[in-house]
Structure 1
């Protein structure tokens, strides 16, 4: 199929004259956008958010910046705006996660220790997330859940990459303070 060899920019540009081609962009990125939406708002809203993201993208495809071959930052920018419309649901979900207490299992092997620690931190981390501004939360979740680069997050949020870096620096300090000095951003050492 010809659309497999097209980059996102070409595909979007060609879809202006042949709207059915836009379905290939959906096929490429819908699962990823859906996962991001599910993590932000819960699985019950993810399908609707994903549909809204691609509807907005379809309607604005003629204005897409064709110099960008990867549409992911554009789609995540749209997703961030759609999520903002659903922010009350996100806030309720995060507050509920903050109230959850995690029972420590009676026994577990060494491989599950990291997972248990993460589960125990979840309520405190969720509480810390509720105290972040919407802009801070959007940045953190685009980097952590959508796995965007700083540059792609800057495009998605419409801010300079320097702002991404400085905002992230302040954000990390806030979250560390909220977790009593624990750094959830510290990279795990590779075992090898």
Structure 2
């Protein structure tokens, strides 16, 4: 396993484990073990910890129920799993919107102590977080999914296209629109 949780030459690929799981279901545990923490972290960032465990668990239940349809020409199952998780998160749309609305309204901690620089940094971060949350809430679901799969899940644009089952050009245009909105929300700073 390499540093980003993906299989390397010394370990069987996700595709190999999924192919084995078709005959021997317990083999799917290797895919679960490789990706659960990343899927959970992504869901937690989108929905909060309260719903993240349910979404992450359901992601693997759905994936297991669909292993016969997995295209084993894709050695890494991460885009497939993130696609399933994104669809489950979309069902939780109200919860995600409420989370961004709440984050946008949070006021920065006004306590000023001996560490003025640290406090100022926290105030700046809290202010930016509120602006980002407000901008995320304004994005369309499709644009938000693409942006967060790139920014929070670390997927490449081709992986996002696979995850969401959309053309690569659609990923590029959605990502461009989302980044523009984030730049505007941050007053011209931020996402590249």
C-alpha contact (below 8 Å) 2:143/2:177 kept by paired residues: no
How far is the alpha carbon of 1:110 from its aligned partner? 5.9
Q: Mark the runs of 5 or more structure 2 residues left unpaired by the alignment.
A: 1-9
Query: What TM-score comes out, normalization by structure 2 length?
Result: 0.87
C-alpha contact (below 8 Å) 2:44/2:51 kept by paired residues: yes
Aligned to 2:103: 97
Aligned to 2:6: none
1:180 and 1:35 map into 2 onto residues whose CA distance is 28
Aligned to 2:143: 136
Aligned to 1:28: 34
Per the alignment, do residues 116 and 5 of structure 1 end up closer, same or farther by CA in structure 2, a change over 3 Å counting? Answer: same
Q: Mark the runs of 5 or more structure 1 residues left unpaired by the alignment.
A: 187-192
Aligned to 1:178: 185
How far is the alpha carbon of 1:185 from its aligned partner? 0.9
Query: What TM-score comes out, normalization by structure 1 length?
Result: 0.87
C-alpha contact (below 8 Å) 2:108/2:122 kept by paired residues: no
SS of the residue corresponding to residue 50 of structure 2 reads helix
Per the alignment, do residues 67 and 121 of structure 1 end up closer, same or farther by CA in structure 2, a change over 3 Å counting? Answer: same
Counting matched residue pairs gives 182
Deviations 1:29-63 (A, max 9, x none): 00110000111110011111111100000000010
How far is the alpha carbon of 1:83 from its aligned partner? 0.5
2:178 and 2:33 map into 1 onto residues whose CA distance is 34
2:104 and 2:140 map into 1 onto residues whose CA distance is 16
Deviations 1:142-173 (A, max 9, x none): 11110111111111111122221222112222
Question: Is 2:115 aligned against 1:122?
Answer: no
1:71 pairs with one of 58, 77, 84? 77
Q: CA RMSD in A?
A: 1.8
